[in-house]
Structure 1
């Protein structure tokens, strides 16, 4: 059975059984009808996925991995903050009349900074360090830039990646590991979407840096289930679980900026019925 399913089910059970409620508190999110969107939440959830063993897609319902990858490349490769560069419509709610989400996400990764080696943006800096100083403990990105928060239409949720390279005994190739830090997550709508996105990113970076892929650690400060999602989650986690799908990445791509969604393939992906029209709090 998929390891990602086991992690997801255990996390949801823990939130439902041991979490705390925000009901009655002053909360920012609301539903389309204007009602406050309350949550059951857990603080400091940490999930680990060994990407060398299997791809971490849940099978309880389908995760649209190509769409998730398109969004990832929109942020990390195109470094865009305009929804017109994105195929899906998940960001439409936060875009202005020109399609911009402000100085958020891809915008921050595209800002060039001065280093002793020259001017680089955060993505290029990560790739440079992985290739030149792989055992550095300073390889990370951060898009939660306080001076620009007032110009972001949505504060970043998944805001930081920290990369760490290890050398397994007897292996002539290095192993790439990463920690995804997330301040807040809507578990039903976004958990596996984010996990699959950053698993793909790890595979891509490992390949272009001639490394093996290792662990992805997902740290969520506020992991929550919205009040209107509770019955959906309860039904979801009781579903049958299947084997994890197989993941393929085009081995001919050696430049991160050459990857497209056509360079990934997901096969043998058996899932439960898709859940449609999940209400999204804004």
Structure 2
């Protein structure tokens, strides 16, 4: 069993067996038919993935690596808040007639801030520090900007990354680790999608900075399974699972802004069938 499958199964069973139901509470999300979308939730879920051992993509069902990477690059590389710059239709529900999702996600990553070294946005600041001050305990991003929340069509779910570099005894290269903080997560639709995205990001940043990818720690404040997803989750976690595939990142790319979705792939990726027509709460 891949580690990603093991962690996912354990998390889902814990939520289903020990979680708290929001049924009857005043909840914001609703289904397309207008009915309230209730959940079973767990507070403070923490999952750890050692990227030096395997790439954390689940095999219970297929996670679309290139689409997940494209969305991550849309935010972190293109720093866009317009769905016209994205190859998928994930964000269509939250876009206005011009394609904008407001001052959210990529918009915040592209805002320049003044540092003693000059004006930089958050992505460039991370890369600068990883290259010039790798042992700093201040290498982080935050896109949950309160002054702009009223102009965001969706409040950020995955809102902060904290990077930490270690020197393993006897290793020639430094190791890049990261913590992904997420305020809320729809476990069925988004859990492995987000894990894969930020695992790719850590691999990319490690490569351009001459480091090895280390641990990705995923902290979820509210990890939930929607009521209409419960039977889907129960079926999913009982499926046959397979070994983790091998991850490939184009070694020729040394500039973060040169990466494309085609620079990543997984080899020997065997999975269960995809779950189609998953209802999405909005």
Instruction: Provide TM-score, normalisation by structure 1.
Output: 1.00
* Counterpart residue number, 2:16: 16
* Counterpart residue number, 2:6: 6
Report the alpha carbon displacement of residue 276 of structure 1 after superposing the two structures with TM: 0.4
| Deviation sequence 1:99-134 (CA, Å, 0-9, x none) | 000000000000000000000000000000000000
Instruction: Count residues with an aligned counterpart.
Output: 282
The answer (yes or no) to whether the contact 2:176–2:213 under 8 Å persists in 1 is: yes
Report the alpha carbon displacement of residue 172 of structure 1 after superposing the two structures with TM: 1.9
C-alpha separation in 2, matches of 1:171 and 1:53: 15
Tell me, yes or no, if structure 1 residue 227 matches structure 2 residue 224. no
Report the alpha carbon displacement of residue 148 of structure 1 after superposing the two structures with TM: 0.0
Report the alpha carbon displacement of residue 262 of structure 1 after superposing the two structures with TM: 1.1
Report the alpha carbon displacement of residue 266 of structure 1 after superposing the two structures with TM: 1.2
Report the alpha carbon displacement of residue 31 of structure 1 after superposing the two structures with TM: 0.1
Tell me, yes or no, if structure 1 residue 117 matches structure 2 residue 117. yes
Tell me, yes or no, if structure 1 residue 140 matches structure 2 residue 132. no
Q: What secondary structure, in the 3-state scheme, does the structure 2 residue paired with 1:180 have?
A: strand
Q: What secondary structure, in the 3-state scheme, does the structure 2 residue paired with 1:138 have?
A: coil
* Counterpart residue number, 1:64: 64
Report the alpha carbon displacement of residue 194 of structure 1 after superposing the two structures with TM: 0.1
C-alpha separation in 2, matches of 1:126 and 1:23: 41
Report the alpha carbon displacement of residue 267 of structure 1 after superposing the two structures with TM: 1.0
Runs of 4+ in structure 1 deviating by more than 6 angstroms, as ranges, are none
| Deviation sequence 1:15-36 (CA, Å, 0-9, x none) | 0000000000000000000000
Instruction: Provide TM-score, normalisation by structure 2.
Output: 1.00
* Counterpart residue number, 1:29: 29
5+ long unaligned stretches in structure 2: none
5+ long unaligned stretches in structure 1: none
C-alpha separation in 1, matches of 2:88 and 2:246: 24
